[in-house]
Chain A
């Protein structure tokens, strides 16, 4: 087990390094010269040179990459400015430290992701479960029909429809904004409600369909029939024999989806103008702010890769069949 975990962590480091290098090469080589960009319109060749010097752009590419990497763990100096330990550089646009930009916006993205996840898990899993138990009934058909529809709505379309109906026409909700919970809990709830729903709908429908088919498959298993034949109570069988095996795959998928969202819900945040990591990514891309793009990509990849490992470890804990095979 220990060897397995260490091996996986080694893999994580390798993948993150590869992501890092690839992103670095693409953005720092394909895009326009950062020194020229920072310098702006009133620019002299000397100034460009000094900017290059400070950013280390005159160094060979590998040295630059090494400086970037070591900056993350040990900090680095840009000319006279010292950038301390988790150093991801400074924004070309605002000169702000990228690390502090991330820490300022991460809470918004986490709020969006956690709220949506709670919603879609509740709606999706319960909806799918009820559908499976009432298989073939009116409820099942309409729920699954609705789920197909929900999977097919692009979330920016849903966002605009909701915003038009609830905010512009009925004026039930305010325009979303990233209000901190402590400032005004009610406004906080009202602000985040639409982003949560918009983000959750697609996942909820997907999870409902998955849960339904998993539960139906499990109900056809031999051990389920055995448990029934032994005369165990309905609720007990449902909980211990049907739900657990049916929900294990859902846990895996949930881990991946949730990890993916921690790196920012790009479209949802952009549509609602919530200042999280996703919106920061979109903005930095629009302005070609390379250090920020680099950091955002790396952060998102970090969450995905870690999520992957956590899910695999969790899976062995949840599903005894996997444990037997691996040992």
Chain B
């Protein structure tokens, strides 16, 4: 990994007494990097949109499920009035063709879906991956055999085909919960595999031996000696997983097996824009841009955090 000059400066500014990978150090470094800061600001806006969605749509004047037949030209098959997909003072991002729902409101509510599902999936994968990975790496033997074979099995699965198939054959029920469960079920082995390997190495280190010699129980060794040392990998793997899950959720909704209409989701908006993209490109461009920028921001930040943690561990 290389050190860009800005980072090197940051390293010098931070007092050497600071712990190598403290949250504060990462935050300081991120706010000093213009690109990373822009990503952070964009993500803050998206999260704010998700949290305050009802409030924001009250301000903008249109709810996500309100039809505005005045904003579309029914003579032309429902194309929005005006240029750029009907962008105007009352519809800030324009409207959906055919039914005239406000795109701004749907983007704001769609942020809710993306953020909730991806964060829940990350949390669930994190827990499963860390616990099972540590169990396999710490106890080895048959525990490791069982968990590793399960991982092989899940990783051999064509996950996308299977996720779609499961989601479409299950009764619709609570779609978001189903999505989280299905995404996590296929996601945890990738984290667990890394955690398992690192736990195996850590379990042989002197400090673990020392803890044992002084009478520590298994649970104490695992939670007080090994887990803190895995923190860096867990932070890096999970931050880099979030954009992946946002993409997966959008992809599944794009393929029509994600959250069910009329609930708004970015992927689903893109999916419904497919039949309109030649006459109303904005309908597709706006959710596409939001999806792209969110994933990009998370990737850039995750990458930055990884560089910082790698440096912290090397220091």
Contacts and interface: CB of A to CB of B under 8 A. Distances in A.
B2 A27 contact: no
Given A30-B170, A157-B288, A286-B168, A304 B274 contact: no
Given A282-B255, A285-B168, A297 B162 contact: yes
Interface string A137-176: 0000000000011011110110011011000100000000
A16 B156 CA distance: 9
A152 B295 contact: yes
A98 interface: no
Nearest to A270: B255
B166 to A, nearest CB: 7
A104 B62 CA distance: 50
A136 B1 CA distance: 11
Interface stretch (B23-31, B124-132, B200-208, B277-285): B277-285
Contact of B292 (A157, A164, A216, A264): A157
Interface in B144-174: 152-153, 155-158, 160-162, 164-166, 168-170
Contacts of B100: none
A164 B284 CA distance: 10
Classify the secondary structure of A's interface with B.
Answer: helix
A152 B292 contact: yes
Nearest to B274: A160
A263 B158 contact: yes
Contact of B270 (A23, A31, A156): A156
Contacts of A18: 153
A197 B1 CA distance: 29
A27 B169 contact: yes
Nearest to A301: B156
A288 interface: yes
A216 B162 CA distance: 38
A194 to B, nearest CB: 14
B38 interface: no
B187 interface: no
Q: Which residue of A156, A164, A168, A270 has the most chain B CB atoms within 10 A of its CB atom?
A: A156
A282 B167 CA distance: 12
B281 A154 contact: no
Interface string B196-235: 0000000000000000000000000000000000000000
Interface stretch (B67-75, B88-96, B246-254): B246-254
Interface residues of A, number: 47
A304 to B, nearest CB: 5
A296 interface: yes
Classify the secondary structure of B's interface with A.
Answer: helix
Interface residues of B, number: 41
Nearest to A216: B2
Interface stretch (B12-20, B47-55, B135-143, B296-304): B296-304
A260 B278 CA distance: 32
A260 B169 CA distance: 23
Contacts of B78: none
Contacts of B257: 285
B259 interface: no
Contact of A300 (B4, B161, B295, B299): B161
Interface string A261-277: 00110110011000000
A148 B300 contact: yes
Contacts of A264: 161
A308 B165 CA distance: 24
Contacts of A118: none
Nearest to A141: B4
A151 B244 CA distance: 10
A15 B295 contact: no
Interface of A: 11, 15-16, 18-19, 23, 26-27, 30-31, 135-136, 148-149, 151-154, 156-157, 160-161, 163-164, 168, 213, 216, 260, 263-264, 266-267, 270-271, 281-282, 285-286, 288, 293, 296-297, 300-301, 304-305, 308
Interface of B: 1-2, 4, 152-153, 155-158, 160-162, 164-166, 168-170, 243, 247, 250-251, 254-257, 270, 273-274, 277-278, 281, 284, 288, 291-292, 295-296, 299-300, 303
Listed from nearest, the 4 A-B pairs whose CB atoms lie closest are A300-B158, A152-B296, A152-B295, A157-B288
23 contacts: A11-B152, A15-B152, A30-B170, A136-B2, A136-B4, A148-B300, A152-B292, A153-B292, A156-B254, A160-B277, A160-B284, A163-B277, A164-B284, A263-B158, A267-B255, A286-B168, A288-B168, A293-B161, A293-B165, A297-B157, A297-B158, A301-B156, A305-B156
